[in-house]
Structure formats: structure tokens, C-alpha cells
Amino acid sequence: MTETTEHIEEGGTLLFFGAHCSICLRSVEKLGWLLNRAGVQAVSLFHPQANRLTGLTLEERMEAIVLRLSEGKLIRGFDALLWIGDRILLFKPVIWLFRLPLLHDFFCRVYGEVARRRYCGGRSTACRIDFKRKEPL
């Protein structure tokens, strides 16, 4: 279920992620067991049906991962990771901590900075992380 296939179970929970991003792809491959236990199907954000299923443009989907719940609700970015982690009993205490306002805000910013630079290679100054940025994803 963690493979990015052409077939999408439209009634299920879908995780749209950057399959062209090596960090994202490796994360989905290594944490596939977690996605399976949470009942989530990983789908490339470039999938032909992604626009219709999310209602988001490609540019909007590229800003952060998008979790589409079976009822159609969208959860994006770090909150999508929290939703998945919250489905695993072992992770519930840690997820609760990440939902505390200060930690949540901090990790939303960290996630946003990493997501914005996921295609950066090398040590380009254009890819430097700016923790002073105010708008989290």
C-alpha cells in the first residue's frame, strides 16, 4: 500500500507527496508500515487524478504533503504527519506533545522550511533555513 501506483482507492485516505523528492520517497519507503497501519495510501502529487481529488493546483500540492481523508477533508504539512502518527497507539504520547502550541508552531516552521528546500542540492545559500520566517505551512 505504500507504493505509488496508478490505481487510487478514492474512498480511502490518501497521502499526496513529492515522489520526485528523494527525502520524501525514502521517508515513504521506510515508514510504509506506519502508513499501512494508519490505513493511508501514498500517491504521487503528480498523479493525474491529484488535482481532482484534492481540489488543489500542482503548485499548492508542492508546498507540502496533502492528506485527503476518506470523507474528503484535506490536512496539509506537519498536521498531516500528526494525523498519521495519531493513528498509531505507540506514538500517541509523542503526538500529544507535538500538538502543544509552542512545539506545534516550531515543528510547523521546521517542516515548512524543509519542504520549501526539499529539491535543493548541495550547499546553496538559496536553500539556507530561515527560522525567523513567520508563516508556517
User: According to the model, what pLDDT value does residue 110 have?
Assistant: 94
The pTM assigned to this predicted structure is: 0.78
> How high is the pLDDT of residue 129?
47
Q: What is the pLDDT of residue 24?
A: 82
**pLDDT means over runs of 10, the chain (137 residues):** 60 89 84 87 92 93 92 95 91 94 96 82 49 50
Note the pLDDT of residue 132. Answer: 53
pLDDT at 9: 79
pLDDT score of 49: 92
**CB-count exposure of residue 79 (10 Å: 0-12, 13-18, 19+):** buried
